[in-house]
Amino acid sequence: MDKIRFGVFLPFHIFRTEKRMQLFNRLQEVVLECERLGYYSIWLDDHLMLEKMPILECWTTLSALSSVTERIRLGTMVTCNSFRNPSLLAKISATFDNISKGRLEFGIGAGVQKKEHIAYGIPFLSSKARIERLEEAVEIIKKMWTEEKASYEGKHYTIRDAVCEPKPVQKPHPPITIGGGGEKLTLRVTAQHADRYDWGYTPSFEEYKRKLQTLEKHCIALGRSFQEIEKSRWLAGQIFIGEDRKELDEKVLQYVPVGVSLEDFMRTSLVGTPEDCNKQIRQYANLGVTHFMLYFGDLPDLRGLKLFAEKVVPKMDQTN
C-alpha cells in the first residue's frame, strides 16, 4: 500500500472570533503546529468576503506562511479561477513555488459563490461557462509553467508568447488538484488535467465509489490512465475526535451550530475516537486512497489536531 498522507484544511472562518490584527498570527500558530506534528500539507480557502468576517487574501497569506515554515506543503482549497486571469495566476503560482522552495499544492476550481463575485464586480457566469473557463485556464497555466513562450487561443482566453520566468521549482509542474464533483463537466476536466481530485465531502462509501467509476469512464474516453490521478477523500464534513465518549459528548454539545439538528450534525461529521477514524481511513485506503483531507471542527483549538496526529497517523504508518 502506498504511503497515506494527511492534509489539514484551514478555512478563514474558523478564526472568526480573533481580533482582526491577530488573525494572521493565530493562523500561523496553527500552521506551525501542523508542521511540528508532521502533517503533509495545509490548505487555505480562496474567498474575498464572507459577510463582514475578516478574510485574508489566499495567495498573499500563503507566501507569508512559506517564510515561517520549512517542510509542510502549502495548498489552495481551492483557488477560484474567476478571481484572477489564468496567465496572472500562472505567474503568481510559479513565483510562490519558487519562494516556498517547491512546496506548492495547486488546487483550482470554477468558483461557486455568486454573492462575492457580484460584490467585487466579477461576472458570475453559468455553471457551464465557468467550467469551460476552468478547463481553458488550466491548459494556459500548464503551458506557462512548462513552455519557454506560451500561446493559446480559446473561447474565453487568449495569450500570445507569454513568458513565465522563473518556472516553478517542481517538475514537470506543481501537482494540480481540480476541485468540484460535477459528474458531466467537472469530472471531465479532472480526468484530462488533474494530478489529484477533490470532490469535497461525499456522504457515503457507495457514492464515493460511484464517482470513482464515473471519473474512470471519463479517463477512458480521453485516453488517459485512471491510475495517474491520485485518489483523495475528505474523511468527513468536519472531524471531532476525542479519547472517549465523555469527551465526544462534550464536543457535540459545544459545537452543534444553532439551528442545526443533532441528526444532521452527526450525519455530516465524524464524531469518534482515534480507532473510529482509523476504521474509516482503512476502508478508503483499501480502495487505493492515499490522500485524506481533514477539517477539524474544533479549530483553532489544537486538541483535536494533536490527538489525530498522535493516535491516528502512527497507526496508518504501521499498516503501510
Q: Which helix (H) or strand (E) element contains residue 316? A: helix 313-319
Q: Report pLDDT for 21.
A: 76
Q: Report pLDDT for 320.
A: 55
The residue ranges of the chain whose pLDDT is under 70 are 1, 18, 318-320
Angle between helix axes 86-99 and 58-66 (nearest 10 degrees) is 10
Residue 143 burial (10 A CB sphere; 0-12, 13-18, 19+): buried
Q: Report pLDDT for 319.
A: 58
For residues 299 and 265, the answer to whether their CB atoms sit within 8 Å is no
Which domains are assigned to the chain? 5-319 (3.20.20.30)
Q: Report pLDDT for 77.
A: 97
Q: Report pLDDT for 286.
A: 95
Q: Report pLDDT for 316.
A: 83
In angstroms, the CA 3 to CA 292 distance is 11
In angstroms, the CA 182 to CA 165 distance is 34
